[in-house]
Structure 1
Amino acid sequence: MASLGQIIFWSMIVLIFLFAAIIILILALTFSGPSSDVESSNRSTIANLGQDVRLSCFLLLPNEGGAQFSDVSITWKKEGLSGLVYQYRDGAANLRDQDPEFRGRTQLFTDVINRGNASLLLMRVRSSDDGVYSCSISSSGGGGSVSVRLRTAAFSAPTFTATKDILIAEAERWLPKPSVTWFDFAGKVLNASTTFTQNSAGIFSIVSMLQPVTKRDPYTCNIQSTMVMAVSEATITGSGVSERTTFTFSAASSVPASNLLSIMTSVLCIYYLT
């Protein structure tokens, strides 16, 4: 016969899995939303201020045979905005209800609309463009809607110059204000002198000086904000500085179901132990 402790132990195990199943079901219902044939290749996008960005939205094709759609209507909206971002109807743009904020800055890729591509080109991105956008499509082959989160930032690759034993990195456009860290070829953090200058638009320019440096040794300069990181590798050569920069972008923050399950398990275990 099972002891009282064993009964309590197995009861708690059952409760853990029961609570986990409930949490996963709630998350699935919350994030799945209604059935839709519309998708986006990037539901969280970071745009560089002053440049253009494409917000992805497309109607899933029923097969791979190059199917096309007729009677396509497309509406782009932005959360919290009364006017429309863009509307396409009856084979042409319908901008009567377009919000003035987007006038002259939006367009669709008209040559692929009949193939279900409703992606929006947003030009000359502003900080006020930050927000959640919805793309709705209706057509002869189906329809639905999808949301795209757009975040705005400023970022640029640094340029490098070398003078005697000093390596200088200069980057013109960063927002939010980033941090700058230098590393040697072995990954050791190096001391450097960095200054930030903010213009009237709030965008930061950066000048960072590393000293002393030696020729032919590679150095890495990391410029990182809360949304973007630029990793630059620079090597002083006989004719100047060889450089290469790659960008990585932060994903939208979220709490995975596995984390919630772990939290729930920990809470129940603590409860049992006490």
Structure 2
Amino acid sequence: MTAAIVTLAAVIVLIIGFGVSGKHSISVTTLMSPGNVGQRGVLGCTFEPDIVLSSTVIRWAKAGVAGLVHEFRSGQDQLQEQAAAFQGRTAVFADQVIGGNASLELRDLQLSDAGTYRCSVSTARGSGAAVLHYRTGAFSIPKVHMENSSSGETLLCEAPRWFPQPAVHWTAHSSSGEYLPQAANTSYELNAENITLKVVSFLHNVTTNVTYTCVIENNIAKATGDIKVTES
């Protein structure tokens, strides 16, 4: 039996914003990938750069939140107006601002961080803004391995953290093509923080010389784990 090969994919959305009305405007673009709760996330934003860093102002705001999420001005963070919910959790990539990177790092992601954000940038050349609809959840890479049971050889697929509850299905690939094996037994266990779920799925009566794939997917992300069952 070979080692499992796993992949993780998440939806990425590109949004291009129009410049602020007036004679001088710059293009601002946001790039979003879903946030994984408890980990580090990046809310992507780029703009037409200006070689004069001191004239660049970056403001991040979130709809429904009083105060700013983050502000970068005069070459450094200006957090006097930062909302309490984001204190100690945000940063811009200061050394990349001069190249047009206004992206925001958001640490210790929470489900409540989901929402609509606005990236506003002002330089000596003009101003612009774009919005970003940020989604948060939990997703993790599954591990697949073989187990022996009274019902014959069984595959076990486990993934430690998912939210919302995902769907799980298996596929099989052999020399004759791809097919869906018999239904698996899948269960969900609530983790200690009472938010995320551990996913456990058993596939019984597997056969040799077949590659099986465990697919876990919700509206945030999709992850797969592969294993090839051989006679050895």
- TM-score bracket, normalised by the shorter chain, equals 0.7 to 0.9
Higher relative contact order (CA 8 A, sep 6+): 2
* TM-score of the pair, normalised by structure 1: 0.69
Correspondence 1:154-173 to 2 at 5 A: 154-164=138-148, 165-173=153-161
Mapped contact 1:184–1:190 kept (Cα < 8 A): no
Larger Rg: 1
User: 1:196 aligned to 2:188?
Assistant: yes
Give RMSD over aligned pairs.
Answer: 2.0
14, 19, 28: which one aligns with 1:39 = 28
Distance (Å, rounded) in 1 between the aligned partners of 2:109 and 2:85: 11
Which amino acid counterpart does residue 81 of structure 2 have in structure 1?
A: D
Sequence identity of aligned pairs in percent? 34
- Residue 116 of structure 2 aligns with which residue? 132
1:183 partner SS: strand
Match of 1:98 in 2: 82
**Alpha-carbon contact 2:171-2:181 (below 8 Å) kept:** yes
- Matched length: 203
Higher strand fraction: Structure 1 or Structure 2? 2
Change (3 A) 1:237 1:143: farther
For 1:211, give the aligned amino acid.
H
- 1:233 deviates by 2.0
Distance 1:99 1:148, change over 3 A: same
* Alignment partners' CA distance in 2, 1:216 and 1:46: 36
Distance 1:223 1:148, change over 3 A: same
Out of 174, 199, 208, the residue aligned to residue 201 of structure 2 is 208
Match of 2:226 in 1: 233
Residue 145 (1) aligns with residue 137 (2):
no
Unpaired runs of 5+ residues, structure 2, are: 1-16
Equivalent in the alignment of 2:4 = none
Q: Is the 8 A contact 1:38 1:137 kept in 2?
A: no
Letter of the 1:182 counterpart: W
Instruction: Give the structure-2-normalised TM-score.
Output: 0.80
Q: Write the distance in 2 (CA, Å) between the matches of 1:105 and 1:216.
A: 49
Task: Report the Cα distance in structure 1 between the residues aligned to 2:225 and 2:75, rounded to whole angstroms.
Answer: 46
Deviant stretches of 4+, over 6 Å: none
Equivalent in the alignment of 1:220: 213
State the one-letter code of the partner of 2:133: R
Give the counterpart letter for 1:210 in structure 2: L
The whole-number CA distance in structure 2 between the counterparts of 1:187 and 1:142 is: 56
